[in-house]
Structure 1
Amino acid sequence: MRLNTVTWGSGDRVALLVHGMLGSAAQYHQVGPALAERGYRAIAVDLPGHGDSPAAPDATMDLFVDAVLESVDPKPSLAIGHSLGAVVLSHALPRLRPARVVYVDVPFDSPSGDPPAADVRERFTAARAARTEHQLRATRPGWSAEDCRWEAEAAAKFDVDTAVALERSYPGQVIRRPTIPSLVIRAEPSRYLSTERARELEELGFSVRSVRGAGHCVWYGFLDDFMATLDTWEA
């Protein structure tokens, strides 16, 4: 499956950007240009069932990984994944072979049990319905109007069937010591990545940094802090 991509910049170094569940490549509408200013050619993908990429009602993690690898060249200088995108990147590493990888606000916890399809569908349908531009402006005071607009547009294009298939087929993973320089950037406080889990990841060999006051999509409202964390990371 070929995925839709969005590119910023024309530098020799490539930065691959992978968004989270219910998002799209446009989630990086600030990060992409900021990386381009730093000499990167930043390429963001729309994952299957997201943005302008095809739906995948038979989705699995392998399908997601294969789709990313069919759509971008291997060996990027930098790969950044947010939430679901971070999980996809972690599975793609052996074949993607980035020089460095950044995981944003993701716990890497294994799913528990096998939830009924109806329950998963109801949850994703409700989440999509709640992400209107009006609702986001009311509930995300730190987000810009552009952040809200892009997130609402991504939610409108989100394919629930793809997400249901992916979640129900995903068995989870065991996180091991990283073999390439790996940074975890978390919100502070984070609903998804506790301080205890962050400490466990550090013990495994991940670098972990926090952006105080940020939400799950860490750079929304905190772009300077997010980019400074990237700039000062000594891989």
Structure 2
Amino acid sequence: MTGSDRPADTWVLVPGAGGEAWYWHLVVPELQRRGYAAVAVDLPAGDESAGVDEYADVVVAALAAHRERTGGGGRTFVVAQSMGGLTAPLVCARTRVDLLVLLNAMIPQPGEVPGDWWETSGFREARRAQACRDGWDIEDLFEAFMHDVPADVRAEAVRRGEPDQTGAPFASAWPLDRWPDVPTRFLQARDDRFFPVDFQRAQVAQRLGVPFDEIPGGHLVALSRPVELVDRLESFVGPGRPGGADPGSG
């Protein structure tokens, strides 16, 4: 927790598909209660002309505006949910970040077209096999995302309606030529019905080689277990430099 003698550390929260900052609406007050600043970002997910570079521009601008308002200082931690894994490394390459946490996230590779990731990563086969083992309906995406989300939050999500998500971020090769030199952790909800935990563990080992941590919950764990999520995020940081292996050395 931040001491009164130094600026608050800031968590920058990058959403997944649909790009809604609302995804983090239960996490933000929990972080603030513990003395952190939190910047939850809306991405231009409905803009057909916006790809991952433009998404990263929006996040960097939001962080810059926050630093301007607060005078900067403190450490900066970026958390990226699901599809946010395509955007967050670009943010880390463009501005100072002290820790990147990938949460139930996609892991891109240099030059890979994100639209090809669904096949090249082995995602479809892994998800189908997990659905067969666990007995859930692979076609029911709403239940895959919301199966452990409390009824009132589910109802609010339904009321808000499904957000737009264009295919633009998936159409071009991922632009970085290497993973940014930022300490990185991977946090996976072990009950995720969209990105199964065994699939994700293999992806992290093959593509990043960074610490792999698990937490109870499903794909939208920020909606189902916000306090437990913040507990785990807080465990990654401390009074000194945050932990995590340098993926560039993996």
- Of 145, 149, 155, the residue aligned with 1:143 is 149
Q: Is the 8 A contact 1:106 1:193 kept in 2?
A: no
- Find the residue that maps to 2:224 and give its secondary structure: coil
Q: What residue number does 1:159 align with?
A: 164
Q: What residue number does 2:215 align with?
A: 211
User: How far is the alpha carbon of 1:19 from its aligned partner?
Assistant: 0.7
- Find the residue that maps to 1:220 and give its secondary structure: helix
| TM-score for both structures, normalised by structure 2 | 0.65
User: How far is the alpha carbon of 1:186 from its aligned partner?
Assistant: 0.6
- Of 156, 167, 171, the residue aligned with 2:173 is 171
User: How far is the alpha carbon of 1:206 from its aligned partner?
Assistant: 1.8
Q: What residue number does 1:107 align with?
A: 106
1:54-93 mapped onto 2 (5 Å cutoff): 55-73=46-64, 77-93=76-92
| Pairing 1:192–2:195 present | yes
| TM-score for both structures, normalised by structure 1 | 0.69
Q: How many residues align?
A: 197
- Of 181, 184, 192, the residue aligned with 1:182 is 184
Q: Is the 8 A contact 1:69 1:96 kept in 2?
A: yes
Separation in 2 of the partners of 1:209 and 1:32? 21
Q: What residue number does 2:31 align with?
A: 35
| Pairing 1:221–2:217 present | no
Separation in 1 of the partners of 2:107 and 2:225? 23
Relative to 1, partners in 2 of residues 1:150 and 1:188: Cα closer, same or farther, differing over 3 Å?
same
Q: Which AA in structure 2 matches 1:170? A: S
User: How far is the alpha carbon of 1:171 from its aligned partner?
Assistant: 1.9
Separation in 2 of the partners of 1:70 and 1:139? 29
- Of 224, 232, 235, the residue aligned with 2:235 is 232
Deviations 1:38-87 (A, max 9, x none): 211111011003xxxxx422122111111222232178521111012222
Separation in 2 of the partners of 1:179 and 1:139? 32
User: How far is the alpha carbon of 1:150 from its aligned partner?
Assistant: 4.3
Unaligned runs of 5+ in 2: 1-6, 119-139, 238-242, 244-250
Q: Which AA in structure 1 matches 2:82? A: S
User: How far is the alpha carbon of 1:231 from its aligned partner?
Assistant: 2.5
| Pairing 1:14–2:17 present | no
Q: Is the 8 A contact 1:105 1:193 kept in 2?
A: no
Relative to 1, partners in 2 of residues 1:179 and 1:57: Cα closer, same or farther, differing over 3 Å?
same
Relative to 1, partners in 2 of residues 1:14 and 1:104: Cα closer, same or farther, differing over 3 Å?
same
Separation in 2 of the partners of 1:154 and 1:19? 16
Unaligned runs of 5+ in 1: 1-10, 50-54, 116-129
Separation in 2 of the partners of 1:192 and 1:139? 10
RMSD across aligned positions (CA): 3.3
Q: Is the 8 A contact 2:103 2:187 kept in 1?
A: yes
Relative to 1, partners in 2 of residues 1:155 and 1:227: Cα closer, same or farther, differing over 3 Å?
same
Separation in 1 of the partners of 2:11 and 2:145? 31
